[in-house]
A and B are shown apart, each in its own frame.
Chain A
Amino acid sequence: DTGVSQDPRHKITKRGQNVTFRCDPISEHNRLYWYRQTLGQGPEFLTYFQNEAQLEKSRLLSDRFSAERPKGSFSTLEIQRTEQGDSAMYLCASSSRKVHSRETQYFGPGTRLLVL
């Protein structure tokens, strides 16, 4: 295991469908983050987990979005009733806990979602 992996890499769906993305962090990392990145912008924080506990959620994370990390290893991000505005790159990152501001996050390759 050399890095963070995400699956699928690309997803095309029709408006109103549900989609689920998976993230496998670096194995010894206990923190896992989800970000959304739209074209021409930097990543925006969505939520993060420390082990299996979801510690923070951004106001960007509407009630159609849910994330889980049931065993403190991999995580899933589900979007229900997708909208065209959900089209974006969804990035996952992981880190091992240090002093918060010094913590380096390592990113996966992302899942690019297109909602038609």
Chain B
Amino acid sequence: AQKITQTQPGMFVQEKEAVTLDCTYDTSDQSYGLFWYKQPSSGEMIFLIYQGSYDEQNATEGRYSLNFQKARKSANLVISASQLGDSAMYFCAMREDNNDMRFGAGTRLTVKP
């Protein structure tokens, strides 16, 4: 069964604006971790941000923040003040305590000048 769903195959955003990339997940575990990675065309997966299921505050890392809504099982990534270099594939991933990391299918973000 699909555990991570990213419903937006592609997104466009104007430079300097904010954009939200959606991610929903499915788990019956109480303890799990949620991750976002960026994959530029070069192929490397770059870790962006982490949210633990027990964390009470939404995670933030510079221009990245995670809008964590536990009851809705969503972990959307918000990128503020988009830059041209943000154009890439973005993957949401989840890890339960006894399972491996599972990735969504990704969202391709294009930042327009």
Contact = CB atoms under 8 A, between A and B. Distances in A.
B56 interface: no
Contacts of A109: 42-44
A99 to B, nearest CB: 8
Given A42-B105, A102-B52, A56 B45 contact: no
B69 to A, nearest CB: 18
Contact of B43 (A44, A101, A110): A110
A100 to B, nearest CB: 5
14 contacts: A42-B4, A42-B106, A43-B103, A45-B101, A56-B100, A89-B43, A101-B32, A101-B52, A103-B33, A108-B44, A109-B43, A110-B43, A110-B45, A112-B43
**Range of interface residues on A (Cβ < 8 Å):** 20 to 34
Interface in A76-116: 89, 91, 93, 99-110, 112
Interface string B84-113: 000000010101111011111110000000
A100 B104 contact: no
A58 interface: yes
B95 A103 contact: yes
A43 B45 contact: yes
B64 interface: no
A115 to B, nearest CB: 18
B93 A100 contact: no
A107 B35 contact: no
B76 to A, nearest CB: 17
A48 interface: yes
A76 to B, nearest CB: 19
Nearest to A89: B43
Nearest to A9: B43
Nearest to B45: A107
Given A93-B45, A102-B50, A107-B44, A42 B104 contact: yes
B31 interface: yes
A43 B37 CA distance: 11
